[in-house]
Amino acid sequence: MRKRSELIFNLILVPADCLALVGAFALAYIVRVKVEARPVAHPIASMEFLHILLIALPIWILIFASIGLYTQGRTKSRVSELGKVVVAVSGSVMFMILADFFSKAPVFPSKAVPVYALGFGVVLVYLARLVIGMLQRFLYRFGVGVRRVLIVGTNETANDLSRELSRRGSGYTVMGLVGVGLPDRFAKGTKVYANLPDAVERRRSVDEIIQADTSLDQDSVLEAMRFATDHYITYRYAPTLFNLYTANSRLTELGGVPLVEVRLTPLDGWGRVIKRAFDVIGATLALVIFSPLMLITALIIAVTDPGPIFYRHRRLSRAGGETGVWKFRSMSWRYSPGPNRPYKTAEEAFVAMGRQDVIPEFRREQKLADDPRVSGFGRFIRRTSLDELPQLFNVLVGDMSLVGPRPIIQAELEHYGEHSTSFLALKPGITGLWQISGRSNISYDDRVKLDIFYVENWSLWLDIKILLQTVLVVILRKGAY
């Protein structure tokens, strides 16, 4: 909830920056064209000038994002942010000047307009951000967006952080200090706990753990990091700790103390927004394209094997939650297992069919290369992956992604061992690295490794490559059963 609040405020900054910058150029236009008595070199109608500004908006957003003005962070220095605003507005104005230089038609009615826009832009953008920041700090008083933090350590650095984060309007609530071997007591008004499990158990939910004590041994540090990742808690530590590093770490600063934040996956903050937008757009287009094929598939299932057209299976989703994954039913309705069916489990159905020989393979792989329960048409839609098309609805409602780890059941999670937390950091996908790397021809252990690699190395370009290769795999029918 706290991360979502931060993300919402970062999203609000985008239209605020756009409105402020458009307002700056519009104000510059009014001052030069309407207020000043001097004639302009290139008379441009106000609506035409506004149209040019609206076309430039996506470029301005990219410039602001590249400067780091949409990076999530709690303790942004006003001086630092003002510096970034100056650079971002200057870059946006420079882009407009370059567009004017290379365009056949003039962009500005006068050379003075971009000069005025630079000054107005810095003031308006910074003021808009100050107002949004004030609103965010006001909401902190009501607990909206406040992060509950535990600080590991009782040294001077820990005390400095505790004082800094306890300031009114910081956006943090210090739940306590954690000191190994220390008695349960009060220190400078802050509760001290002997260990992390004890602190989390006796306090309310914790959003972040900060490792401030650089003198702790490596085992204690690794234990704290593992505890945080297992409970999906943000973890940050002082960078001098044994040179610990992960590919998804990022350097931050809090109260003058440099900290390294450890992330399970790069899919966080804006990455999550980008992936969700990509999923919605992609799923919508796919449904439009494949809707006739889905209708035909549904009719054939209804005619050839009367029974439910769709099959909904409970699978694990992000953070260990469960979701219902939809598919076209490919199994014969007679042998489809379920709580209200003659056969409660797949193994019961195999016994009824006299196919006990396939049970060892099913227990080992959680699926069969030649499942006797699958109907004739079911084999076709499995080979062509048509059975998975209803999962596009799962993507639209946010239960799944177009690309992600495999949707698995609870019993399969043990195969991921110590990586189970990383695996559950993302939503499952309709396709993924496992699909384009051999699908059913690769071992279960290799599938696990591919899932973990995807989680730890996500990028939008990786999603695009996987989708393009999935099309080829489906067309060539590689590794499907």
User: Digits of tens for pLDDT over the chain (481 positions)?
Assistant: 455 677 787 788 999 999 999 999 999 999 988 888 788 888 888 899 999 999 999 999 888 887 778 876 545 567 778 888 998 899 899 999 988 888 888 888 888 999 999 999 999 999 999 999 888 888 887 778 788 888 887 777 777 777 777 777 777 888 878 875 444 444 456 677 777 777 766 656 778 888 777 666 667 777 777 777 777 777 777 654 444 444 455 666 665 666 666 666 666 667 777 888 888 988 999 998 899 999 999 999 999 988 889 988 888 766 666 778 889 998 888 888 777 788 878 888 888 888 888 888 887 766 777 788 888 898 898 888 888 899 999 999 888 889 888 877 776 666 666 656 666 667 888 888 877 775 555 666 667 777 777 877 788 888 888 888 888 777 766 555 4
Rounded CA separation 173/193 (Å): 16
pLDDT, tens digit, 9 for 90 and up, residues 313-360: 888 766 666 778 889 998 888 888 777 788 878 888 888 888 888 888
Domain boundaries of the chain, sorted by first residue: 2-140, 147-262, 270-330+374-476
pLDDT, tens digit, 9 for 90 and up, residues 49-99: 999 999 999 999 888 887 778 876 545 567 778 888 998 899 899 999 988
**Neighbouring residues of 279: CB distance < 8 A, sequence distance ≥ 6:** 395, 401, 402
pTM more than 0.75: no
Residues 178 and 227: beta-carbon distance below 8 Å = no
Q: What angle do CA 53, 57, 61 make, to 5 degrees?
A: 150
Burial 389-421 (b: 16+ CB within 10 A, else e): bbbbebbbeebbbbbbbbbbeeebeebbeeebb
Query: Residue 59 has which token pair?
Result: 């470029």
Architecture label for domain 147-262: 3-Layer(aba) Sandwich (3.40)
